[in-house]
Chain A
Amino acid sequence: MQSPDAIVIGAGIVGASSALSLTNAGLKVLVIDRGAVSSGTTGAGEGNILVSDKDPGPELTLALRSRDLWFEMQDDVGDSFELEAKGGVVVARHDDGPLLKLAAEQSQHGVTTQKLNQSSLHELEPYLHPDFHSGVFYPQDAQCQPMLAAAQVIRTVIARGGAFISQAKVTRIVVENGAVAGIETSKGVFRAPIIINATGTWAGELAQMAGSHLPIAPRKGFILVTEPTKKYVFHKVYDSDYVTNVASSDADLQTSTVVEGTRSGTILIGASRERIGFDGSMNYEILRRLAAQATSLFPVLRDVQLLRAYRGFRPYAPDHLPVIGEDSKVRGLWHSAGHEGAGIGLAPGSAALITDAILGRESFMDGSPFSPHRFATVSL
């Protein structure tokens, strides 16, 4: 592609939706990836588009808008990527006080919540363990097939005049007079005044190439996939410990279980998190804990066979907020990374924020809490 207006590095869902949003704003966009489309964190995700697990604050505002943008993106792209507002059911394992308090706060910030008692809870999830007697229903929680989504979005970008080059590893970011001028890759040199770093777990490395700094680290997660079964789980179901885990900066392993059924009939069990760098090895103790938690929620799953397990790496920043905005040192270098386990859900919202900022137009929210500048002072 001759002289693109912007280069997006990373063909996961964050990069793909950024590329689409910039393309729709009239820019000529080139997307580059070190592998194929969806080959990083996007390809190892469950496709969660959640508002239920966010505390009131900037991330929740972003999540709510992003969730609606998912449905707009589906209308725009025209292709199905299995987007479905299946709804989330959060149950209280012990004391339901913290869950109900959070739900009350969330509902004041635009989240639709519905308190569930013993009978309404078991009406929504008839196979749930009878001991659970209280929960909250979040009808806005949604689900998509993220790999398909990224691919369909990139396909649309190409159809609208953009381009995608795969298997191109960035070897250098060209910075001239404090501003980006282009990139050198294993598949050639490309020049553009705007570069979007949407490289997920590699975002820190990329920032370093430009002489900047971004404290993004990988956090390992596992997902268990069962054999196809009768429909036992109707929503995204998790216990409320999950909400506290997301905001934790404790490096020890924490597990909490999100259980859900998929269209293909399999059941996905996920949401363990562990901060140990890029070690790909399988930890069977985590699988056992996930299985124990899932079967304590749904005893009927005891006889369901586990078929596969896969692991992925989530990119996260020390304060667990995504990094969205222009680099603190290098002009024209924009970051959209560090979305941790929420990248699928937050992708189109992040794309809208970054596009608005690049074009200098007003956005749906103040993006400053996500600014990379927040790490500028700790960089040395």
Chain B
Amino acid sequence: MIIVIGAGPAGLAAAEAASRNGSEVALIDSASRLGGQYWRHRSTVTGYRSNRADLLFAKVKSAASITYISEATVWSIERDGELIRVNYLQGGSESSLTAEKLILATGAYDRSLPFPGWDQPGSMTPGAAQALLKGHGILAGQSVVVAGTGPFLLPVATGLAQAGAKVVGLYEAHSPLRWLLSPQALLLNVSKFAELIYYAGLIRKYRMAPRFGRVVSRFDKGQVTITSVNSSFALKRKRALTFEVDVVAVGWGFSPDLTLGGIVGCKERVDVDGTTIFEVDGDQLSSQKNVWIAGEATGIGGADLSLLEGEIAGLSASSQKISSILRFARFRKQVFADALKCSYPVKDGWRSWAEKSTTICRCEEVSLGEIEESVAELGAEDSRTAKLFTRAGMGLCQGRICSRNVSEIVAGLTKCSVTDEERIASSNRPIAAPIALGLLGDGKK
């Protein structure tokens, strides 16, 4: 049997591909519907080329050899000789599933950067705004500012506009001219122009005026301040604009969810953009025997790349042939993914946006001032020591949101760069999801 964890584009593609030769597949996902973060759990997904999702949903649902386990949260994975045991929580009890092979397709979550007010009600990530809309049909606010960096801002802004929100501002921190650095990516992915034209049409239709080189630098009781930045994200304070808005949706790309692969012991490395990702071979096989990884956890690249990686992982895990056409398709999307990293990097200048009182770790309410003090007064030199002194990263999210930011803030204060070892170590979370002590103890041998 093959266990696939994650029912987003990569996991769905993996399950579908593996089931083609009749391999038994168990597809585990924490949500109640297929689709993952990207195809937000609605039976009929709307958006660019969303028919792909419906097609895949139908195939996965009709495949006799796929068992779909929904609303199941994996909290740990153990090796038991040659077998892999996945322990998960479902409906208030704990269950396990054992298989010879495992495909991880755990995806990614929005990256947030701290600015004054980023933790206030009304401030959220684009992913959260989209989740409210697609997952629950809730509009986050009547008037919305969408900001940050990366192409994901486009589906979010246009999606909110289509649902009736007034998108009063769409701010991209970088210049679109950065794409000139990667002409090969565009030539290899001409289809992307069609996607751009699709969004450009919607932007015009809803009279949004995208602005470049600007960020949300403050959000305070419904007042947003937009400030120009230079190419390294340093604020040009003289060029600021303040106005009222219900919601600011600000996102800075994505962080892969590395928790489960980390538990299994899969080798990680640091990508060109400083993101920690898993190392996989041409068949998406990780450093661990019989563990494949597909999708964002092997490098942020979007749904198109995730689908291809998932398909390759599924074919490889079920010992099917992988065509060179498929491999070339993945190569083209990888070139595009690299261009995305090159076009929308998160620059160090963000470290000057926060003020002393700005919260850096939301779970434990640790401010920038406290982190500065831990470095200046107590000798913190990395995110681990800063965490031990301030509790930053010890809360409910276990540093998923803040640990990378803390590392980079501390590195800035100590005038060092964050080492790869530190980036990799901070993704170590042996308890992947909270589990009640009673359940945990009841599972004792």
Contact = CB atoms under 8 A, between A and B. Distances in A.
B120 to A, nearest CB: 22
Given A288-B441, A308-B394, A151 B378 contact: yes
B78 interface: yes
Given A291-B441, A292-B441, A306-B436, A37 B430 contact: no
Contacts of B437: 224, 226, 269, 291, 294-295, 301-306
Contacts of B76: 282, 284
Nearest to A296: B441
B218 interface: no
A148 B435 CA distance: 29
A287 to B, nearest CB: 6
Nearest to B386: A36
A281 B440 contact: no
Interface in B303-339: none
B98 interface: no
A303 B384 contact: no
A154 interface: yes
Interface string B368-388: 000000000111111011001
B30 interface: no
A319 interface: no
B381 A166 contact: yes
A264 B388 CA distance: 13
A227 B434 CA distance: 8
A359 interface: no
A276 B426 CA distance: 24
Contacts of A310: 430
A284 B379 CA distance: 33
B438 A302 contact: yes
A36 B438 contact: no
B208 interface: no
Contacts of A43: 384-385, 388
B258 to A, nearest CB: 15
B378 A152 contact: yes
B211 interface: no
Nearest to B388: A147
Main secondary structure of the interface of B (DSSP, over half): loop
Contacts of A293: 441
B443 A288 contact: yes
A155 interface: yes
A266 B441 CA distance: 18
B239 interface: no
Contacts of B137: none
A220 to B, nearest CB: 13
B345 to A, nearest CB: 28
B398 A295 contact: no
A248 to B, nearest CB: 21
A39 B385 contact: yes
Contact of B385 (A36, A269, A304, A306): A36
Contact of A302 (B379, B436, B443): B436
Interface in B102-143: none
A39 B442 CA distance: 34
Given A281-B265, A288-B443, A305 B389 contact: no
Contacts of B378: 37, 148, 151-152, 155
B431 A303 contact: no
A309 interface: yes
Contacts of B364: 264
Interface residues of A, number: 45
A244 interface: no
B436 A307 contact: no
A289 interface: yes
Given A39-B384, A304-B437, A306-B440, A154 B379 contact: yes
B440 A288 contact: yes
A231 to B, nearest CB: 16
Contacts of B377: 155
B411 interface: no
A74 to B, nearest CB: 16
A310 B388 CA distance: 12
A334 interface: no
A256 interface: no
Given A295-B438, A304-B437, A306-B440, A284 B87 contact: yes
A176 interface: no
A294 B442 CA distance: 12
Given A292-B441, A306-B436, A36 B381 contact: yes
Contacts of A282: 76, 263, 430
A107 interface: no
B15 to A, nearest CB: 26
A161 to B, nearest CB: 17
A308 B379 contact: no
A305 B435 contact: yes
A234 to B, nearest CB: 18
B402 to A, nearest CB: 14
B59 interface: no
Nearest to A302: B438
Contacts of A288: 440-441, 443-445
B441 A38 contact: no
B429 A304 contact: no
Contacts of A311: 430
Contacts of B380: 36-37, 151
A117 interface: no
A31 to B, nearest CB: 10
Interface in B407-445: 429-431, 434-438, 440-445
B188 interface: no
B377 to A, nearest CB: 7
Nearest to B79: A281
Given A36-B379, A43-B388, A264-B391, 11 more contacts: A35-B381, A43-B384, A147-B385, A148-B389, A155-B378, A288-B444, A296-B441, A306-B435, A306-B440, A307-B396, A310-B430
User: Which 10 A-B pairs have CB atoms at the shortest separation, nearest pair first?
Assistant: A302-B438, A292-B441, A291-B441, A151-B378, A305-B434, A291-B440, A36-B381, A147-B388, A288-B444, A282-B430
23 contacts: A36-B379, A37-B379, A43-B384, A148-B388, A151-B380, A151-B389, A155-B378, A224-B437, A227-B396, A285-B444, A285-B445, A288-B440, A288-B444, A288-B445, A289-B441, A291-B438, A294-B437, A294-B441, A302-B437, A302-B441, A306-B431, A306-B437, A307-B431
